[in-house]
Amino acid sequence: MAKLALGALALGLASLVSSAALAQVEERGRFYASFFGGSNFAFDQTSTATEIFAGPASQTVEVDFDGNFFGGNFVVGGNLGYVLLDRDWGRIRVEGEVTFRQNELGDFSFNGGDQFFDGDVSAISGFGNVFYDTPVFGEGLPLSKGFRVLVGGGAGIGRLNSSITYFAPTGAGFQIPTRDSSFAWQAGIGYEWILANWLSLVTEARYFSITSPDLQRLSFPGGVLQSNLASEFDAISLTTGFRLKF
């Protein structure tokens, strides 16, 4: 009888330890994958010559982007993440993300003078993000298990692709066809509608920036280097997508 009691006690302790270990695993969270898309609104871009090899003594390129909500101004992306902490006060998530965004030109000037122009500017970026999610609100809402508010940001590398051709009133043509990689960062806020235990609808607004990309101004045709340009690229994106939990 004593052996049976000791055996039962041992099994009970083993069960408690196992349950505690499982609870700890569940407490750390789950993996997820997200896919999203939306509109990208780029701020006006100013590029200033740092080295001039031909042309006027000063060279400043001003680009105003098309503000159309749809059209050629878009962003698409995806991420893989993990819920690192899940507590009564909310969750902490970490994720790796890749995005592509593009904006069409709306207006263009060189040294303050309007030019005939065509082209777009795009960027591909890779980020490591950290986000905080609030506890779940509104449980029992129609078609939903509730929602969370989220806030966070990340840092990584952004590769700017400028594909611009323009012509001076004299007929001389120039290009800014450069690709350059530089430090990038973003910050965002949004909400997650929980549709099922494995599926959520996520809407976000994010500020995106590539810091100090370097571009080049070339003659067209011919491709003779005219100058090196210090540039910038900043945008606000509005996206909606799905998050799959596994």
Residue range 65-110, pLDDT digits in tens: 987 766 679 999 999 999 999 999 999 999 999 999 999 999 999 9
d(CA 199, CA 76): 19
Q: Is 5 left (phi over 0), alpha (psi -120 to 50) or beta?
A: alpha
DSSP 55: S
pLDDT score of 245: 94
Distances (CA, A) of 199 to 135, 193, 241: 17, 9, 11
Quote the domain boundaries for residue 110.
30-245
Specify if 19 maps to a domain.
no
- What is the chain's length? 246
pLDDT at 28: 36
Task: Say if 93 falls within a structural domain.
Answer: yes
Give the side-chain half-sphere CA count within 13 A for 178.
Answer: 21
* Total count of domains within the chain: 1
Q: What pLDDT shows up at residue 70?
A: 64
- Residue 7 in tokens: 């055996």
Strand 90-110 with 74-87, pairing: antiparallel
Residue ranges in the chain modelled with pLDDT below 70: 1-29, 69-71
What is the model's pTM? Answer: 0.84
- Could you tell me if residue 129 is inside a domain? yes
Cβ–Cβ under 8 Å, residues 69 and 39: yes
pLDDT at 161: 96
How many whole angstroms separate alpha carbon 95 and alpha carbon 97? 6
Domain membership of residue 16 (yes or no) is: no
| Backbone torsions φ then ψ of 27, nearest 5 degrees | -65, -30
Would residue 2 count as lying in a domain? no
Domain contains 5: no
Q: Angle at Cα 228 formed by Cα 223 and Cα 232, nearest 5°?
A: 115
Tell me, yes or no, whether 241 lies in a domain.
Answer: yes
pLDDT at 71: 64
The number of beta carbons lying within 10 Å of the beta carbon of residue 145 is: 16
Angle formed at CA 241 by CA 26 and CA 151, multiple of 5 degrees: 60
CATH of the domain at 95: 2.40.160.20
In this structure, are strands 147-167 and 233-245 parallel, antiparallel, or unpaired? Answer: unpaired
Kind and range of the H or E run holding 20: helix 2-28
User: pLDDT value at position 21?
Assistant: 35
Residue 59, judged by CB atoms within 10 A of its CB (0-12, 13-18, 19+), counts as buried
Say if 175 falls within a structural domain. Answer: yes
pLDDT digits (tens, 9 = 90+) for 19-29: 333 333 333 35
- Contact yes or no for 201/193 (Cβ under 8 A): yes
Which DSSP letter does residue 168 get? -
